[in-house]
Chains A and B, each alone.
Chain A
């Protein structure tokens, strides 16, 4: 690749957009970032980030199994993640200490199954790293269309349940007393989270979904307490991180997973520093 980063940003962007694979990657990245930013905000609010992590890992055997059987990868991602979300929603929420051990066991078993499918499908070992850590070259036109449809469905459903979901997340007991069906709303949200995790893993890779799902939302929570501004900010940061990551990954020898996680982490650190300073000023 004869790509060189120059100080002329216009020519840089023109270089980026001359390849269809790059346009597809940017389209997919933008869709995924918008969905992940919005869903991630609620996930951080509800303290369900380990559920999100588990769902993303469950997507890996899904995608590997689909590749092995010759089915479309997206089918495996979405199918396994949504099924996993339904299972997690059905689990009772007691016995916390053992539950974390069970989640750990399930995560490792899911990854081991992914390894099994990969080794059954010979000659796929180089694809394994892409599956786990993301790539900018692999996104096809049909995949972008699937992501667009899934993303639109998630955002519409999220918009419909946003108010009761916010209520139930902030104060579950009062919400229940006011007639909100807390369990149902929670289960619906987990399914949305599953779809978002499946979509995000197709861009950042299974292991790095937190870069788009948690970090932008955590950054937004540290900057504003208003939920609507928070969701908007979270989406904006996720999109910015994705564009920066994909753009720089194109010009550098290092993979997208590194750049996206690094930018996301940098924003998070900056916001945490700002929060600490602001809190200190308030305390005086």
Chain B
């Protein structure tokens, strides 16, 4: 299995993106910004198709749209969270715009067909080329280093923003910067599992890790580990059973890991005595 070049590329890009998703997802769940992640996945679709319709590299549209909207969401978030009705209405329209760009793309370009839309929505990790895999891995490693560098103040600001601000942590700056990173991670993850499914790769390993441990550093490592495990198991399964699409097997493994963490954490809670007070 490891001698196939397409499998090597998939493993390279997949592992890097999994570690990134696990770490970023941990903070996303901790900060209660899961629905911002959902919103950014919609934006990823529209950004990618806008780039296709304009005839530029798909990844350019992905990153510009997700990082830009992430930063804007972060700036707006400072003045109170937009309610679910506004988010829902706006992002239905953003997806509608995505369909518009798809129609533009299929009518304007000779090579354009609606299969491109399926690729963007559901990913095609087995189709990733050597150059794209290396780029995805390098960007993912850079983002991981960036998040780990700001992990301490970010944790502080996530758990207690008021005290963190009083101790001199730039809380108002961290919010938009972090959502910008979430946007970049969404763009990365959409190349692996697709815009519609990246949300699960962000949420499931992080939710499982937070069930299994309350301590932040082991939690971060566990979240990244579980996401990597999901990608490895998913890729192997998809390789062994060709009828199963890799995006499905990765998401199914991630979901199963979360489902396993629920009884495991209940067992752990029952055994260890909880501190009183």
Contacts and interface: CB of A to CB of B under 8 A. Distances in A.
Given A96-B32, A112-B200, A261-B92, 8 more contacts: A49-B88, A98-B207, A208-B99, A210-B92, A214-B85, A215-B89, A255-B102, A258-B100
Interface in B193-209: 196-204, 206-207
Contacts of A260: 96
A101 interface: yes
5 contacts: A50-B35, A100-B34, A104-B203, A125-B118, A126-B115
Interface stretch (B129-137, B165-173, B243-251): B243-251
Given A261-B95, A262-B96, A265-B92, A104 B103 contact: no
Contacts of B92: 207-211, 214-215, 261, 264-265
Interface stretch (A28-36, A127-135, A224-232): A127-135
B93 interface: yes
B232 to A, nearest CB: 17
3 tightest CB-CB pairs across the interface, nearest first? A108-B200, A261-B96, A210-B92
B99 A98 contact: no
Nearest to B204: A105
A217 to B, nearest CB: 8
Given A108-B197, A207-B95, A53 B258 contact: no
A67 to B, nearest CB: 15
Contact of B95 (A103, A128, A208): A208
A218 B93 CA distance: 14
B30 to A, nearest CB: 8
A75 interface: no
B210 interface: yes
Given A108-B203, A112-B248, A208-B92, A254 B100 contact: yes
A255 B206 CA distance: 37
Contacts of B97: 258, 261-262
Nearest to A52: B88
Q: Which of B103, B203, B243, B258 counts the most chain A CB atoms within 10 A?
A: B203
B109 to A, nearest CB: 14
B88 A105 contact: no
Interface stretch (A80-88, A113-121, A144-152): A113-121
Interface of A: 44, 47, 49-50, 53, 96-98, 100-109, 111-113, 115-116, 119-120, 125-126, 128-129, 132-133, 207-211, 214-215, 218, 221, 253-255, 257-262, 264-265, 268
B252 A208 contact: no
Interface of B: 29, 32, 34-35, 37-38, 84-86, 88-93, 95-97, 99-100, 102-104, 107, 114-115, 117-118, 121-122, 196-204, 206-207, 210-211, 243-245, 247-248, 251-252, 254-255, 258
A260 B211 CA distance: 41
Contacts of B247: 112, 115
Contacts of B100: 254-255, 258
A218 B86 CA distance: 8
A268 B117 CA distance: 28
B55 to A, nearest CB: 18
Contacts of B118: 125, 128-129
Nearest to B91: A210
Contacts of B254: 105
Contacts of B121: 132
A220 B237 CA distance: 49
Contacts of B202: 104
Nearest to A211: B92
A108 B86 CA distance: 22
